Amino acid sequence: MARSTGGGRPPTLEQVAEFAGVSRATVSRVINAVPTVDPSIRENVERAIAAIGYVPNIAARSLVNRRTDSVALVISEPGSRHYDADFLNRIFTDPYFGRLTAGAQEVLRPQGVHLVIIPADAPAHHQVLRYLRQGHVDGVLLISSHVADPLPRQVTDLHVPAVLSARPGQPIPISFVDTDQRAGARLAAEHLLARGRRRVATIAGPQDMPAGEDRLSGFRSALAAHGIHDVPAVPGDFTQASGEAAARDLLARHPDVDGLFVASDLMAVGALRTLAELGKRVPEDIAVVGFDDSSAALACRPQLTTIRQPVEEMAGEMARLLLASIREPGHLARSVIFNSTLVERESA
């Protein structure tokens, strides 16, 4: 039960400090989520806060430290020309974005930092920049993959703390977190070769995205090292529908393909549907390897052998980098690259 302070006055910071047996400065550090506070002291102070019913004055805190205790997760899609239902549907149904959000929340929530999700197609970019300029959030987790996307550079020009979800397509001073995409694609190639497949092909990702470029070049370079230089490739756009169409196009031109690397799980699910329609057995006729290890890899039949990129861990690292940049401005841009692994299931 909350302890009354008498006279109807709300509990004060000093009273929390007295109750917890620590200094007022220590209580302030706990409330402001300073990471250097000893966990046992933090727990003691939090118990005192709950016991006497102290409520931090968020407005006063933001005036003092100029923080909002919130960050934006901005999902940029420069190719969209209008804010339509298809754009929103891609964002909220793609497992990748759900995993990113969950991973970031795992780090931000215990620190008392709120996550504001902002879908941003091309016409909305100026609204996002105005929102950031007005100081509504302390920093940005920026999901942007297209080389031509101007938003990463525009955000860095604002000097707002920001971390990018992938290697930037242009040289800009921004921290980023990524997977070794080329190494992951090499794992896919080596797995198909180990399964005895020699007439291999790929459904590639968009070639205006570093991930799409790296997965294609990594796959081809691994095969070239084994003397296979003719590798048919049909591009998709990381959606299931594009995987269906690309597989149909690929098999029409190369009906003897016996191994297929698909540069995302969603596209692989589409490809599996097309292969079933064409009477191709997986993996007997065609072995299929995807990329991501998303929920889609488990939802299809057969379940998908795929390259896992640890999206939740990557998003958590993005959040940690961003919090560090917010709390200690002036840090140089950093990059963190995660390893990918092969997850073997039924399709290859």
This prediction has a pTM of 0.74
Residue 342 pLDDT > 70, yes or no?
Answer: yes
Comparing CA positions, the residue from 121, 133, 136, 142 lying closest to residue 160 is: 133
Report the percentage of the chain scoring pLDDT > 70: 87
Predicted pLDDT of residue 78? 60
E strand segments, the chain: 70-77, 114-121, 140-143, 162-164, 175-179, 200-204, 233-235, 259-262, 287-292, 305-308, 335-338, 341-343
* Neighbour-count burial for 215-230, b at 16+ CB within 10 Å, e otherwise: bbbbbbebbeeeebee
Phi first, then psi: what are they for 221, rounded to 5°?
-65, -35
Q: Considering the chain, tell me which residue range(s) the CATH 3.40.50.2300 domain(s) occupy.
A: 70-178+311-337, 181-308
Question: pLDDT tens-digit profile of 65-91?
Answer: 567 788 999 988 765 444 455 655 666
Predicted pLDDT of residue 57? 57
Residue 8 pLDDT > 60, yes or no?
Answer: no
Beta bridge partners of 203: 234, 262
State the average pLDDT over residues 7-30.
84
* List of residues 6+ apart from 1 with CB closer than 8 A: none
How far is Cα 179 from Cα 291, in angstroms, rounded to an integer? Answer: 11
Predicted pLDDT of residue 82? 45
Residue 7 pLDDT > 50, yes or no?
Answer: no
Comparing CA positions, the residue from 275, 248, 263, 291 lying closest to residue 203 is: 263
Question: pLDDT tens-digit profile of 272-307?
Answer: 999 999 999 999 999 999 999 988 899 999 999 999
Question: pLDDT tens-digit profile of 97-131?
Answer: 888 899 999 999 888 889 988 887 766 777 888 88
Three-class HEC string of 98-161: HHHHHHHHHHHHHHCCEEEEEEEEHHHHHHHHHHHHCCCCCCEEEECCCCCCCHHHHHHHCCCC
Predicted pLDDT of residue 135? 81
List Cα–Cα distances, 122 to 33, 50, 166, 286, in angstroms.
35, 45, 19, 39
Q: What is the mean pLDDT of the chain?
A: 86
CATH of segment(s) 181-308: 3.40.50.2300
Comparing CA positions, the residue from 275, 327, 310, 322 lying closest to residue 116 is: 322
CATH of segment(s) 13-63: 1.10.260.40
**pLDDT confidence band for 31 (50 / 70 / 90):** confident
The encoded tokens of residue 208 equal 């205006």
Residue 172 buriedness (CB in 10 A; 0-12 / 13-18 / 19+): middle
Q: Considering the chain, tell me which residue range(s) the CATH 1.10.260.40 domain(s) occupy.
A: 13-63
Predicted pLDDT of residue 59? 46
The encoded tokens of residue 170 equal 């242009």
Question: pLDDT tens-digit profile of 153-174?
Answer: 888 888 889 999 988 878 888 9
Predicted pLDDT of residue 67? 73
How far is Cα 260 from Cα 257, in angstroms, rounded to an integer? Answer: 7
CATH of 70-178+311-337, one of 3.40.50.970, 3.30.420.40, 3.40.50.2300, 3.30.565.10: 3.40.50.2300
The answer to whether 265 touches 296, Cβ cutoff 8 Å, is yes
